[in-house]
Structure 1
Amino acid sequence: MRISKIGFLIAFALTSISAQAAGLASINVPASDGSPALSGFVWSPCATPPGEVQLGPVALSAVRDCPIAGEKLPLVIVSHGHGGGSLNHHDTAEALADAGFLVVALNHPGDNFSDLSRAGEISIMFQRPADVKHLLDFILGKWSGAAKVDPDRIGFFGFSRGGYTGLVLAGAVPDFRDPTVPCPEPAPICGEIRRNEIPAEPLARDERIKALVLADPLSFFTNKESLKAVDAPIQLWSSEHGGDGVLPASVAALAANLPGKPDFHVVPASAHFAFLAPCPPALASSQLEICKDQDGFDRVSFHRSFDAELLAFFRRHL
């Protein structure tokens, strides 16, 4: 996503998909050791029947600040795309929480709907994986719900740049200089690559993540060598038509080059933003780029099957 207004709308004006009893709470992670402060939402199993939670202009079916039901729960971290936010995939988070998972979705500082200050810089490609590592350190340490988490059952879901983020955390090594990766000017990040202004800092890895679901990931990983260290199981999703800098051919190349065969799905008639939660009517009529799908593609129906496949994958591997 390239415009903060669009990012804001898609982050807050989303419809929910049949949540049964998902608890919903805010999470705030303090800055630490050079890592910025983080914010986001937590979805959790909840024993109380859901009510209406108003977030901006939309009402979600959930229970605000519900006590977390269960012990030693599997955890899934959600990483949004360029200029997105922690509610972009709320339907998926609700489905996982209803099934007994904890889900934490963060807003990446400098690359979210309300703060695009670093979204065009290559440094954000280094910061994003570090954000997730910082978040996990907090969740497993000082977070009030830490005792509810099973540290041996941690998964990750990432869309677009969030998919790139997950691959780095799993051990993939991006090649920003690869000429086969499309990066047209005047995007600032492309100028930085052309001028060789690539940070020298190491990329964050996190072996605590045991399984990943990646939807239309942005890829700087063009060969088997760049992916050879990735050994966690992966469910990989590709839209048929791509968009926003993601090419279906690059997702197919990931499927071919990953050392372990991923659970690979190509979604017929879909474009990139089909992986975002379905838009409510008011947003659908005003933000066609984000909300309008190809003729014959039903985003609501797709998300029912998508969430079910994702849930089944995490149940198998977590």
Structure 2
Amino acid sequence: MVLISHGTGGSPLVYRTIARHLARNGFVVGMLEHPYNNRNDNTLEGTIDNLTIRPKHISMAIDWFFNSEDFTKFLKPDSVSVIGHSMGGYTALAASGGIPSSFPYESSDEKSHLINVTHDYRIKSLVLLAPASVWFKTKGALAGINIPILMLVGEKDQFTPYFHAEIIFNGITDNTKIQHRIVENAGHFSFLSPFPKEMMNASFLPSQDPPSFNREYFHHELNEEITEFLLKNI
């Protein structure tokens, strides 16, 4: 089973091509919409509450699928992967053994706090797409993660630039478990499914890529790369 965690203020629908491709290749795919941090209601963006509950959504979704008579017969026990884009990358890391810390501006007392998260050992691999990782900068914050990771980052990402990937590389104890690629000329939103032409304009940033980047072509490549990784690591 694969769960997809969207970015802050986002939607699961913008990963529809990845989800469809995985489903056609035999995976059960769950597309979460994180309450109060999505396109319809973004009340908790930038808060410690959001950092706390996002990883819980992952475990709740896993519980639901494994307790569902419609799905459980198709699922391999305790074998889950999480795909996380941007803030979804934070979510995936926190749910699989990371210990995040908040920033002072994220809580009412204006202090930094360790986030109370529970390691869900059913998660056996991660796919991180332009992951947001600044909440894992403290020593040992990622030492508890010991599973295969596919991490893809955009060369021209202005929202989660390369230092986010470096935090993960430096924090994971065995970084030989990380399969990593910098996607040439890709931006932060290049990992979202291509939008219809009617929605593509400069004022709608999720539809935009760096000049000459072909999102449609890239997603054919991306789908195959993710599928190949998951078939080996779930």
Same fold (TM over 0.5): yes
TM-score (norm 2): 0.91
The reply to whether residue 269 of structure 1 matches residue 195 of structure 2 is no
- SS of alignment partner, residue 226 of structure 1: coil
Question: How many angstroms does 1:268 deviate by?
Answer: 1.1
Structure 2 residue corresponding to 1:85, chosen from 11, 18, 30 = 11
1:231 aligns with 2:146: yes
CA distance in 2, matches of 1:302, 1:193: 42
Secondary structure of the structure 1 residue equivalent to 2:180: strand
Superposed counterparts of 1:119-158, under 5 Å: 119-142=45-68, 144-158=70-84
Cα displacement (A) at 1:191:
5.1
The equivalent of 1:203 in structure 2 is 117
| 8 Å contact from structure 2 (residues 9, 37) kept in 1 | yes
Out of 205, 229, 234, the residue aligned to residue 313 of structure 1 is: 229
* Contact 1:126 1:204 survives alignment (8 Å): no
SS in structure 2 at match of 1:207? coil
Find the aligned partners of 2:60 and 2:47 in 1 and give their Cα distance.
20
Give the whole-Å Cα distance in 2 for the aligned partners of 1:250 and 1:214.
11
Alignment of 1:181-260 (within 5 A): 190=105, 192=107, 195-196=110-111, 198=113, 202-219=116-133, 220-222=135-137, 225-244=140-159, 246-260=160-174
Whole-Å Cα distance in 1 between the matches of residues 166 and 222 of structure 2? 18
Q: 2:92 is matched with which residue?
A: 166
Question: How many angstroms apart in 2 are the aligned matches of 1:224 and 1:151?
Answer: 33
Greater fraction helix: 2
> In 1, Cα distance between the equivalents of 2:202 and 2:101?
37
Deviations 1:51-79 (A, max 9, x none): xxxxxxxxxxxxxxxxxxxxxxxx10110
Report if the CA contact (8 A) 2:139-2:171 is conserved: yes
Whether the aligned pair in 2 keeps the contact of 1:89 and 1:276 (CA below 8 Å) is yes
Identity percentage of aligned residues: 27
Structure number, greater radius of gyration:
1
Question: Deviation per CA, 1:219-264, whole angstroms, max 9, x where unpaired?
Answer: 12226621111001100111112233x2212213312432232001
Q: Secondary structure at the match of 1:137?
A: helix
Q: Aligned AA for 1:281?
A: K
Which of 99, 115, 133 matches 2:41? 115
Distance of 2:24 and 2:106 partners within structure 1: 45
Q: Aligned-residue CA RMSD in angstroms?
A: 2.0
Query: How far did 1:152 drift?
Result: 3.2
Corresponding position of 1:19: none
How many residues are aligned here?
231
The residue that corresponds to 1:62 in the other structure is none
Per the alignment, do residues 271 and 286 of structure 1 end up closer, same or farther by CA in structure 2, a change over 3 Å counting? closer
Shift of 1:149: 1.3
Structure 1 residue 294: deviation in Å? 0.7
- Equivalent AA in structure 2 for residue 235 of structure 1: L
Asked whether the equivalents of residues 89 and 131 of structure 2 are also in contact (C-alpha less than 8 Å), the reply is yes
TM-score when normalising by structure 1: 0.68
211, 216, 220: which one aligns with 1:304: 220
Q: Which amino acid aligns with 2:158?
A: G
Q: Whole-Å Cα distance in 1 between the matches of residues 16 and 127 of structure 2? A: 15
Unaligned runs of 5+ in 2: none
Q: 1:300 to 1:201 in 2, by over 3 A?
A: closer
> Residues 166 and 279 of structure 1: is their aligned pair in 2 closer, same or farther, counting only changes over 3 Å?
same
Q: CA deviation at 1:159?
A: 0.4
| Structure 1 unaligned residues grouped into runs of 5+ | 1-74, 178-188
